[in-house]
Amino acid sequence: MSINYLAHLLLDNRQGIEVGGSLHNPFCLNTINVDFTNNSTVYKEAEKKLSGGNFLNVDVVASGDKLPFENETYDFVISSHAIEHFYDPIRTIEEWLRVIKKDGYIFMIIPHKERTFDKPRNRTTLNELILRHENPDPNFVDDHGHHTVWVTEDVMELCRNRNWKVVAMLDTDDKVGNGFTIVIQKK
């Protein structure tokens, strides 16, 4: 099954949020694009190169782990290559769960350590993620880089630990080529 097919199977005819959407990697779903800035960044410059000179308009400027929406407002949150940029992915996913309705989805494409420039880095352990979540580093400065390095099994372990309901997993990435997909459904 392809990532696009799975996204449309689960998310068509629903309204959602795309965190860090990009013009060169569209899902063509009914979403609003949330990003931490509408200004030029290294990521937006790369997006412009890949898409022929433009980047996707940002509808709402906000940090993806502090969304300015009411509880249970949307049907889904979708992100491609975004969750690794958050210092506390547990907090981020909890925030995404907060804004989606019961039975809604979190659809994430996540870079796989062995398929990206993160290959030489150590995998981020579950214990480290829990520590970041429970005892955040007060001196942490966010450079919006990759704060977390995963393989598919690591994210599945996190989901089991947090009791998040995984309804789909694709370990191959036919969209960008270097990630895997995890879909969580809100209970």
111 close to 81: Cβ distance less than 8 angstroms? yes
- pLDDT of 38: 78
| Dist CA 95 CA 98 (whole Å) | 5
pLDDT at 96 (0 to 100): 98
CB 106 within 8 A of CB 162: no
Which pLDDT score, from 0 to 100, does residue 176 have? 83
Contact indicator for 105, 168 with CB cutoff of 8 Å: no
pLDDT along the chain (187 residues), means of 10: 95 96 83 86 69 80 96 97 96 98 98 95 98 94 91 98 98 90 97
Strand order in the sheet with 100-111: 60-61, 31-35, 16-19, 74-80, 100-111, 179-185, 165-170
* Homologous superfamily of domain range 3-185: Vaccinia Virus protein VP39 (3.40.50.150)
pLDDT at position 47 is 66
The helix or strand, by DSSP H or E, that contains position 157, with its residue range, turns out to be helix 152-162
Do residues 87 and 132 make contact, with C-beta atoms less than 8 angstroms apart?
Answer: yes
Which pLDDT value is given to residue 21? 85
